Amino acid sequence: MPSGTPRPPEEPAEDAEIAAFLAHLGDVRGLSPHTRAAYRRDLALLRRHHHGAWADLTTADVRRIAGHLARQGRHPRSIQRFLSAVRGFLARLVETGRIAHNPASGLRGPRAGRPLPRDLDVDQAQRALAEPADGAPRIDDPHLRHRDQAMLELLYSSGLRLSELTGLDCTDLDLDAGLVRVLGKGQRERSVPVGRMARAALRAWLPLRGDWAAADEPALFVSRRGTRIGNRSVQRRVAAAGERAGLEVHLHPHRLRHAFASHLLESSGDLRAIQELLGHANLATTQIYTHLDFQHLAQVYDAAHPRARRGKPGRSG
């Protein structure tokens, strides 16, 4: 602003509105100083881009500021947090009668991509599942050893989610057919093949299971107490298997599920089949698990689907 140019008379009042909102966050809503500091930074950013009265702020203004942040390379979560702060501030101004409506109420930030687990290559997977070499640490208790091996093999063989594994009952397993019935997200049921090594590990575990399981316990995998094994226990047992194998990465159930999908895709290229095996409701989720960018996904789909194949260049229809 040129020297001597008077500031808009409403600016001090607007700064006071931000200060009043921040005080409201602490005194009434009880938000932490850390959270209030984040709000303060985001609202200061809003004020730097909008010098007029808050009543003059439009949806297009807020969208323009968010777009500017995106062009600057801000992370999607940072833009989401900025918009959340703006929505909260403007909602408070509506509530106190300072403005008539909230121009940011319908705006949502860009979606942040899901973090992908680090790859577990085929050799690492084999090391995690293999019998310990001579001199390597091993589990002495045969019940524990065979149960853990069966869980590891089933996670990698069938790509199960952790909750799907712990939710299995003995009646869900058909070893003769090589299938396991799984209840996935949204109560969607699916049948998944069980590989040869997993079937062998399960056949070794099942005769021992009765020594631990209570008479009325239906769970396939049980703890020493005789009850269904919990998610945290499985996570600890899987991590311990990775440590015994000397893996360079932390082993957890989802990493085995991801390895199942990645290794199957590498050998088959059948994304749709992998979607079914993983129990994904849509193909986009499978794309995330398998590291495919959208262009490659479209190429796979176009080449494979009878109703998606395109004509040669230059041909109509």
Alpha helices in 130-270 (DSSP H): 142-158, 162-166, 196-212, 231-244, 253-268
Place of tokens 């949806």: 59
Spatial CA neighbour of 96 closest among 9, 176, 23:
23
Of 99, 204, 214, 198, the closest CA to residue 158 belongs to: 198
Question: Catalytic: which of 87, 199, 228, 280?
Answer: 280
**Helix H or strand E encompassing 208:** helix 196-212
Structure tokens at 123: 């050799």
Catalytic residue (choose from 185, 224, 250, 296): 185
Residue partners of 119: CB distance under 8 A and separation at least 6: 258, 259, 262
Give yes or no: 257 in active site.
yes
Q: Say whether 185 is catalytic.
A: yes
Burial (CB count within 10 angstroms: exposed 0-12, middle 13-18, buried 19+), residue 158: buried
Catalytic member of 50, 146, 237, 257: 257
Catalytic residue among 24, 244, 254, 263: 254
H/E element, 179 = strand 179-183
Catalytic, out of 161, 199, 252, 255: 161
296 is catalytic: no
Residue 58 to residue 46: CA distance in whole angstroms: 12
Q: How far is the C-alpha of 37 from the C-alpha of 90, rounded, in Å? A: 17
CA proximity to 194, closest of 138, 153, 143: 153
Q: Which residues are catalytic?
A: 161, 185, 254, 257, 280, 289
